[in-house]
Chain A
Amino acid sequence: MSEVLQPKEVIYCGICSFPCEFCEFTPTFKKCKAWLQENDEDLFNKLYSDEALATATSSLTLEKAEKMEKELQKKQAKEEAKQERELQKKLQSKVILKRIERTKRKHAIAISGLEIFDIDMKKLAKTFASKFATGCSVTKGADKKDEIVVQGDVGDAIEEYIQGLLKEKGLDDIKVEQVEEKKKKKATAPVIAPQ
């Protein structure tokens, strides 16, 4: 083998990450097509010209082609609906910062509700730990969902940081809510004890 192989560049679709010619098999075909038109005119014309389409479908009978087309459209509609739903869900959900009292003047902050936004909890915990110079970890909360617990009373700073983070993702209107959780047990326990 004296011949040196040259690496081949394949253009991947920015929407579905497939090589562009396979976009037609994905549920997000419409978006892919628009994306390609914007980003690579040449390839778009090559793939979606009438000629290319004609050769692509020539091996199928008309009936079959129609049927496939319908199925594909159905799938695409489904996928679009799904994405829409997800977006709605994202918009409706909120991030909750819970301020937990530990001892009299010390607090920890538990952050929950982040998992919907595709945020890497572990990495975020790490950044918080170094940002605030405190202990910070990802734990399973009460309802078995991951939450980040930051040692120290840094609720406001975290709120700001998370809002910035969400803005970067293009999600402006997400609520970040701060709630307090006091240790109720301690308050009631002494009352019961003397009896």
Chain B
Amino acid sequence: MFKKFTKEDVHTKTNVKSSVQRNLKTKLVSQFPPLESVIDEIIPKKSSVELFKCEDKIQLYLIDNEVVFYQQFDDLIPSLKLVHKYPSAFPSVKVDRGAIKFVLSGANIMCPGLTSAGAELPEAPGLEKETIVAIYAEGKENALAVGQLIMSTEEIKSINKGIGIELFQHLGDGLWNFDE
């Protein structure tokens, strides 16, 4: 989504109304319940959230000039920096070592990369289709990408073919390097 993303893709910048900001908070918590205890740290009450409307209907939410989360359609997606800060708050999957370099160049994740020896998927019942997941890698501590499940994790295990996760953001993409 952000493979080629620069400042020029930002169309308008506006401050978010405090009422909208409140809604955002509740939405974020309802999507990722573990965030509830720290929501006031992610979005401090007095901070002003900035909304960047960008190409392809992408909306970025910035606090203190840092992208905290973004959305394209309905779902709010946490930025990688946020995932790094609160790793346990988001559902996660792990890919094997061979997949890392492809993920870092922005490829969607194929099922075999999620089911092989080095990879890890959550145990049954697993995660639903269209869940936003943080993507970790074999032998690495931090997340390297954020994506959305195209199949449920059980399906990934059984079918084991084709694209399993659509990638949103990865290390080193346009959004990662945004505004630095």
Contacts and interface: CB of A to CB of B under 8 A. Distances in A.
Question: Is the A/B pair a real complex?
Answer: yes
Interface of A: 1-5, 7-8, 10, 16-19, 21-22, 25-26, 55-56, 59-60
A107 to B, nearest CB: 32
Contacts of A56: 97, 139
Contacts of A17: 172, 176-177, 180
Nearest to B87: A8
| A contact face: mostly helix, strand, loop, or mixed | loop
Interface string B138-180: 1111101000000000000000000000000001100011001
Interface residues of B, number: 32
Tell me which of A1, A16, A26, A56 has the highest count of chain B C-beta atoms within 10 A of its own C-beta: A1
A153 B20 CA distance: 49
Nearest to A9: B85
Contacts of A3: 37
Contact of A1 (B36, B104, B117, B177): B36
Contacts of B33: 1
Contacts of A2: 37
Given A5-B34, A5-B38, A25-B101, A19 B180 contact: no
A59 B84 CA distance: 26
A16 B176 CA distance: 11
B104 A5 contact: no
B36 A22 contact: no
Contact of A59 (B41, B88, B101, B117): B117
A27 to B, nearest CB: 10
Contacts of B172: 16-18, 26
Could you say which of A1, A5, A10, A22 has the most chain B C-beta atoms within 10 Å of its C-beta? A5
Contacts of A25: 100-101, 104
Given A1-B34, A8-B85, A59-B138, 11 more contacts: A4-B37, A4-B38, A7-B38, A7-B85, A10-B84, A10-B142, A18-B172, A21-B141, A25-B100, A56-B139, A60-B97
24 contacts: A1-B33, A1-B34, A1-B37, A5-B35, A5-B37, A5-B38, A5-B88, A5-B89, A7-B41, A7-B86, A8-B84, A8-B87, A16-B172, A17-B172, A17-B176, A18-B172, A19-B84, A21-B141, A22-B100, A22-B104, A22-B140, A25-B100, A25-B101, A26-B104
A18 B98 CA distance: 18
Interface in B74-112: 84-89, 96-98, 100-101, 104
